Structure 1
């Protein structure tokens, strides 16, 4: 007899950075998944949905938000405290950051002996919160609930003032809620950049853009997908995972006339004499 399941099929959309760009190196989902569902391949990511344990952690780390199928875990909270029952698989730091900012959670009520994965997750979260200048989370002992031993009451043990919810996953949401902080350091090497526009055309978050004679680098919105570096043929773009206060960098570009072909071009290097095409040929070849 066939067994039917109503679990949605796991899939990775075409806007996955590995599918969009041949030289993309992102493998965040594979590094986070405890069940080894994801395996990087050239031009994409293989998915073995049969291995999925539906923890939903991949949803909170994918920089392109390209994963569908799993649902974020339902958590229980009372006031400013997360309470049990807790999932066996601990949440990601990004999920806990959303609970921190959206629900004002500051404590977790759990036993130290039975929830080691959660303790590690809270420790990682508190390291990030300290760097952000936010209040850290504490641990509370679970509340003792009196149980009515009447026969009919044993079928349902109510928990007053306990609510359930699931936060909407996504790195973009984390970046919106913590705009004063950045997780990524963006930089462009002016001596390598030829102003081809590939990087800012590839960036879905508009972290890199060209406006009014300036190349603008806004790391606060960067999800760290690496698409900008993957499309840069001259290896001028560099992204590093580094937390810090968000700041917008502005690189001045100048409009110049190529000495070889006499066409106008933009350059970040103040001493650029030839356009990106002519400087790779013998002087005067394209004149």
Structure 2
């Protein structure tokens, strides 16, 4: 026989202090299992209860439980599990370094199955794993251990997709990488994604310091209802980007801002929403940093030469 008794208390971080707005309790009697999973991964669940297990009226086991359960991304946004995240990333780097010849300061940005076509006869495809790191693009074969092809990012001067007919008669997209010495043809599982990452991290990526970087919330469209996500907003000569904790690449990228509007609405950090319009679409942002809105407005001035719309 179990006799649970739950203590009602304001939601708090397990290490003390109130939890953020995204972890505030909600109640929906019509919620389904998918809705529960969405809430668990997005907003999270905070448990504060006392559980007593009795047998024949005699209390035998007492459990005092206080826990926050949420998706890893939500935990990171609220400052939880950061030590675990850093340790996990370090373990992944060390694990890769044991199998792939990486430098001490070299980090893997992406990896995917692929191969390299050898120019020398017989001109065959050599399968392996394609790695994009912070310094190189390489194709590595684990067994037997061999570097099939590699190029420093600073030596890459062109990337393009080429469609070729495979042996089986199917059209396949290949990634053509032009360096200062040659043009190499790579086969990868997701050539479009790798090309986008190369353009983001390659020699054409902005290398100067950003004008402004701050903690910014982004209203992301999701199934059922939009949800606020915390992350890092960056505004510089290359435009506006926003990236959530744990994201591989920015979820928002606006190269040229057209207008900035301020609307009154409830956000995790107040009652002000910034509507930023660009060629890529309109995004809704919120931040406590007052300089952020001013910087966005200045960016509109620079591109349009006129007054922005408020």
TM-score range, shorter chain: under 0.3
**Higher normalized strand content (fraction of residues):** 2
Q: TM-score, normalized by length of structure 2?
A: 0.25
Task: Using CA pairs under 8 Å that are at least 6 residues apart, name the structure with larger relative contact order, 1 or 2.
Answer: 1
Normalising by structure 1, report the TM-score.
0.26
